[in-house]
Amino acid sequence: MECDVLVIGSGPGGYRAAVLAALRGLGTVIVEEATWGGCCLNRGCVPKKDWYHTARVLDSQRHFEKRGIVGGLRGDLAQAWRHQRKVVTAVRASYQSYLKRLGVTAIEGHARFQDQNTAVVEPSGGIISPRAVIIATGSAPHIPEGLVVTPGRILHSDLLFDEPVPEGARVVIVGGGVVALEFAYILHAFGREVLWLARQDPFARGEFSTPAMKLLKTTMADAGLTPIRAGARTLAATDAGVSVTTTDNEVLTADWALLATGRRPVTEGLDLARAGARLDTHGYIVVDAEMHAAGTAIYAIGDCVAGPMTANRALYEAGVAIDNILAPGSHKRDLRRVPEAVYSAIELARVGLTEEQAEDEGHEPGVGFAAFETSPRALGQDEPEGYVRLIADLDSGALLGGEVLGTDAGELIHMLTASPSLGALRRIAGAGFNHPSRSEEFQNAVETLAAKWNLQGYVFGVGDGAQDAS
C-alpha cells in the first residue's frame, strides 16, 4: 500500500496529524496497536477531566448553605467510573467516524520499519510505502524498581480507567508529579481518605511561579491534602488491602494504592535503527526543531519525544510535522506557545517564559497582575482564589508569558496563546469584554502593567513604542 503520510499511533498527536494531513489533501494511513485514541482519550486527559468536573461540583457544596441551597452531595466513584466510560466511548466513536469521513485508512496492528521507506504491519504482514512517516507512539506508566502492579490492589493510572475502581475508602497515592496532584484531589473529593507519599516536593515546580506554588499548597492543605515527604520502599498486596513501608521506615496500610510515578516513552519494537532514527539515553526518539527523526521524511511527536508529557504538546507538534511535510523547513517547534495546566484543588495554567527564563534570554521582564478576589464574577461564584499574571519585555512591550490560577484557568490561558507575543498586550487592552467575567482580569492586568512599567505607548498605541507593538 502506498500513501503520502503514515501515522503510527492514534493518541492526540497522531490523531491530529492524520486529520491535518487528510484535510490538506494527503493520502493518509494511521496504524494503532492498542486502543484507538491512545492514553489521553482512554486513560488520561479525557476521563480524568470528567472526574475532575464532578470533584469540583462535590467540592462546591461547602458554599451551599450561604447560597441558599439546602442539602448535601455524596460522591459515587463507581458511577463516576461508568460515566467516564460513556464519555470516552462517545468521543472515540466520533473520532473514528471523522477519520473515516476524511478518507483516512485506519489499520489495527503493530507497525515497524523495514527501512526508511517501508513499514510492515503485524500480524497481518501488510506492507506500507509512505512518502512521510509520523511516529506518535506515546508513553506508558513507569513503575519504579521494587514496586509491583497488582490488579485490584496496586494500580497505575492507566489501570484506574481500565477496570472499575477498587472498593475501599483508604487509598495510598505514590508520586509527587502532576498526576499525583490531580488524583489526590479527585479521590479526596469523592470521599476517599488519601495517604499521599511524595518523595519530591510536589509544590516545587519550576515552570510555575513561587506565588502559584504557594497558593496551590495552601488550597491543597485547606482540602485536607498534605503529602507525606517520603517514598515507598516496599508496597505489597495483602488479604486486607495493601501494606506500604516508606523510605522513612513507617508502615502504612490502606485498601488499595495508586502509583503516579511518572511515564516512559513507548519506542520498543519499531525497529527505528532500520529507519535511521535513534534514541537518547532515556529511550526518547531524538528529533530536531522541525520534528525530524531521520532523513527528510520521518518525524516523531508527543510523548515518545523528550519534553513535557502533555496532549497539548503532542497536538501542537502534529501541526509542526505536517507543515514541514508540506513545506520542508517552514515550521520550527517553539514550546513557549504551548500551554500547560494542572487540575487540582485550584486550577493552574501557564504559557511562555517565566521571569527567570526571560532574564536568561536577555529580556528585561516586568509583571502585570490582577487578582480574582475583587472580580464580581469570581465573588459571585464563591471562588475568588487566584489571579492573572503577565510577563512582558520592558524594552519592546512584547508579551513573554503568563500564568492564570483559579476556576477555568485551563480555558482562560487561551487568551494568551491565540495571538503572537508582539502586539498581544495592545489587542487585550483594546478588546471588549463581557461583564462580569473572569477574562476581564486580563485587561486589568495589562493596564496595571502598562501603568507600572511605563508601557502605555506599546499597549495603547501612543508615544514612541506604538509602532513596535503593532
Positions marked catalytic: 435
How many Å from the N-terminal Cα to the C-terminal Cα in the chain? 49
Retrieve residue 276's grid coordinates. Answer: 535511521
Dihedral sign, Cα of residue 382, residue 383, residue 385, residue 389 = negative
- Do residues 270 and 135 touch, judged by C-beta distance below 8 A? yes
Helices marked H in 193-245: 210-222
For 215, phi and psi rounded to 5 degrees?
-70, -40
The rounded distance, in Å, linking the Cα atoms of 336 and 361 is: 13
Dihedral sign, Cα of residue 320, residue 321, residue 325, residue 326 = negative
Strand partners for 393: 365
The b/e string for 316-354 (b: 16+ C-beta within 10 A; e otherwise) is bbbbbbbbbbbeeeebebeeeebbbbbbbbbbbbbbbbb
- Do residues 348 and 403 touch, judged by C-beta distance below 8 A? yes
